[in-house]
A and B are shown apart, each in its own frame.
Chain A
Amino acid sequence: MESQDAREQLELVEKILATSSRALCAGGEFFLAWGVLVAAIDCLNQLVADNVMPVSSLWAVPVLILIGVAFSVWRSMQLAAKHGSMSVLQRDYLNMMFVTMGLTFVAQFAGSSFFAGWGEAAIWNFAGAIVLLFIGVHGNRRAILAGAILIVAMAIANYTPGMPGYVLGAGMLVGYAGFGATELLATE
């Protein structure tokens, strides 16, 4: 091979790698849906704790979670059909999200005595913040702000014993769902 051919091949490779997509598609609709659903669950728990709603109204929690799961599965299938490729970064992001949320789910049930009461709700804010901060360190400033909102909401909830559910819910609504809404607006 001549040096000219080698140069041309290297230039071609560099060009392809430089133009390959490194943008992370967070999936705004998932954040919006889950942020609203989790905020609703937090508020419902607070209303039950305050005796405003009867304990029997907690039947709505598994229904809301099932709605979230059904929406996520349906939308994921739609997106998988629409996109022609998946970048390595996107794959790593999805793996990280499934691991974080999966471990939080396991921690909530396997460690229910450690994460009892409002701790059960707070670890979801914590897991959500990890996901958002991962997106943030890949160049999304809104995600850093949203992750910070979730952490701050958790800290405030810790010092507001009368209404931790509302504070955690507000954090999910503004931080998680709010981030989802801004992502959807930005991609339009």
Chain B
Amino acid sequence: MDDLLLSKIRIGIIAELLASDWITFSALQQRLQTTNGNLGAHLGKLIESGYVDELKAFVDRRPQSRYRLTQRGRDAFIAHVREMQAILQGAI
């Protein structure tokens, strides 16, 4: 079991990124309904583990952070979902 993906916020981030090519910090925050600090801390852990890539750019002279799921993050998510499905099947 991937401990990093046991957090609901972190698995929520990965699921949001799974359907997106990229997503900004503010859009992610709006979708997950969480605070700046909380989201930033969870994103930091995912970036540190190589699950998420951070791209910083200036849009309309303002700094903007965009996030993208890495192949490592995608593989980890798939493995995690399979393990959860196995747990559920074992429980039936």
Do A and B bind? yes
Asked if B20 and A87 make an inter-chain contact with CB atoms under 8 angstroms apart, the answer reads yes
Q: Known contacts being A12-B12, A81-B60, is A3 close to B90, with CB within 8 Å?
A: yes
Name the interface residues of A140-178: CB closer than 8 Å to any CB of B.
none
Residues of chain B with a CB closer than 8 A to A17's CB = 15, 18-19
Query: How far is A145 from B7 in the complex, measured between Cα atoms in Å?
Result: 47
Asked if A86 and B84 make an inter-chain contact with CB atoms under 8 angstroms apart, the answer reads no
Asked if B16 and A20 make an inter-chain contact with CB atoms under 8 angstroms apart, the answer reads yes
- A186 CB–B CB distance under 8 Å: no
Query: How far is A16 from B12 in the complex, measured between Cα atoms in Å?
Result: 7
Query: How far is A41 from B19 in the complex, measured between Cα atoms in Å?
Result: 40
- A9 CB–B CB distance under 8 Å: yes
Query: How far is A6 from B87 in the complex, measured between Cα atoms in Å?
Result: 7
- A72 CB–B CB distance under 8 Å: no
Residues of chain B with a CB closer than 8 A to A8's CB = 8
- B49 CB–A CB distance under 8 Å: no
Taking the closest CB of chain A, its distance from the CB of B16, in whole angstroms, is: 6
Asked if B12 and A1 make an inter-chain contact with CB atoms under 8 angstroms apart, the answer reads no
Name the interface residues of B42-92: CB closer than 8 Å to any CB of A.
59-60, 81, 84-85, 87-88, 90-91
Residues of chain A with a CB closer than 8 A to B31's CB = 16
Query: How far is A3 from B84 in the complex, measured between Cα atoms in Å?
Result: 8
Please, how many residues of chain B have a CB less than 8 angstroms from a CB on the other chain? 28
Asked if B1 and A1 make an inter-chain contact with CB atoms under 8 angstroms apart, the answer reads yes
Name the interface residues of A58-98: CB closer than 8 Å to any CB of B.
80-81, 84-88, 90-91
Residues of chain A with a CB closer than 8 A to B59's CB = 80-81
Taking the closest CB of chain B, its distance from the CB of A23, in whole angstroms, is: 12
- A21 CB–B CB distance under 8 Å: yes
Asked if A88 and B19 make an inter-chain contact with CB atoms under 8 angstroms apart, the answer reads yes
Taking the closest CB of chain A, its distance from the CB of B28, in whole angstroms, is: 8
The listed residue (B8, B15, B22) touching A86 by CB distance below 8 A is: B22
The listed residue (A6, A7, A9, A87) touching B21 by CB distance below 8 A is: A87
A3-B90, A20-B18, A85-B28 known, 18 other contacts, Cβ within 8 Å: A1-B1, A1-B87, A3-B91, A9-B84, A10-B81, A10-B84, A12-B15, A13-B11, A13-B81, A16-B19, A20-B16, A21-B19, A84-B30, A85-B20, A85-B27, A86-B21, A86-B23, A88-B19
Chain B interface (Cβ within 8 Å of chain A)?
1, 6, 8, 11-12, 15-16, 18-24, 26-28, 30-31, 59-60, 81, 84-85, 87-88, 90-91
Chain A interface (Cβ within 8 Å of chain B)?
1, 3, 6-10, 12-13, 16-17, 20-22, 80-81, 84-88, 90-91
